[in-house]
Amino acid sequence: MSPFDSRPERLTLADGTTLAYHRRPGRQPGVLFLGGFTSDMTGIKATTLDYWCRERGQAFVRFDYSGHGASSGRFADGTIGRWAEEAVTVLDRLTEGPQVLVGSSMGAWLMLLTALARPERIAGLLGLACAVDFTGYLLWDRLDERLRERLRRERVISLPSPYGEPYIIALDLIEEARQHRLLDRAALPIHGPVRLIHGMGDTDVPWRISLEVAGKLASPDVRVILVKDGEHTLSREQDLRLLTRTLGELLNGQ
């Protein structure tokens, strides 16, 4: 049986929600992967990192947020604050010692929120197509007034997605996310090494978002890596090699 065919373990939260996860023991710093909006831990980046960490003997955790993948809960009930709290809980309860957080798209926003909540646990951050504050420019701003009025009335709407399953857009998600905006802040008090990889061909999240985030970070050890022909998913073979090489450099620098 492949190590990726095993059934996930379950972490039960205080409200009864169960988060599905896979945890691999190994040496520290450990690696915690945070997936994107509507993504799950069976995606190519999550499983590539799992395999790579296994080969290195590195501790690794991947999990599904509530309403995603194999976890319980309704996707439409999710918010940035809720998913960020879940990421912090996974960090607290499923990992030990210093961790390098790897966040993809929305996961990079949650990665930053987690680092702000638990600075003492963070050995480094690696963001892919960093979608900080995406609920504004990627969701709300792209709705015309007719769809905005429908969303206000119905609270939840479904929109086509270029990545397969339709996007489920909840008004609560957009409204609650305003409490967690990071681009409005003068500075982000994150002091460890940070790497931000972004495709210049990303039609969802502009690559300049990663530059803006980099400028707000307190750490002097911040690098933005631009992939000229890279798209949002950063899932091609060469993108995955860049991901593992960059992660290896972060881990080897500890």
Catalytic residue IDs: 105, 202, 232
**Phi (first) and psi of residue 138, to 5 degrees:** -95, -30
* 226 SS3 class: strand
Number of Cβ within 10 Å of residue 178's Cβ equals: 13
The DSSP result for 61-105, as a single string, is EEE--TTSTTS-S-GGG--HHHHHHHHHHHHHHH--S-EEEEEET
Residue 38: how many other CB atoms lie within 10 Å:
20
Pairing, β 156-161 against β 122-128 = unpaired
Could you tell me the CA-to-CA distances from 245 to 212, 219, 236 in Å, in that order?
24, 21, 14
Could you count the other beta carbons within 10 Å of the beta carbon of residue 198? 27
- In order, the DSSP letters of 162-208 are TTEEEEEEEHHHHHHHGGG-STTSS-B---S-EEEEEETT-SSS-TH
Query: In 10 A of CB 191, how many CB atoms?
Result: 14
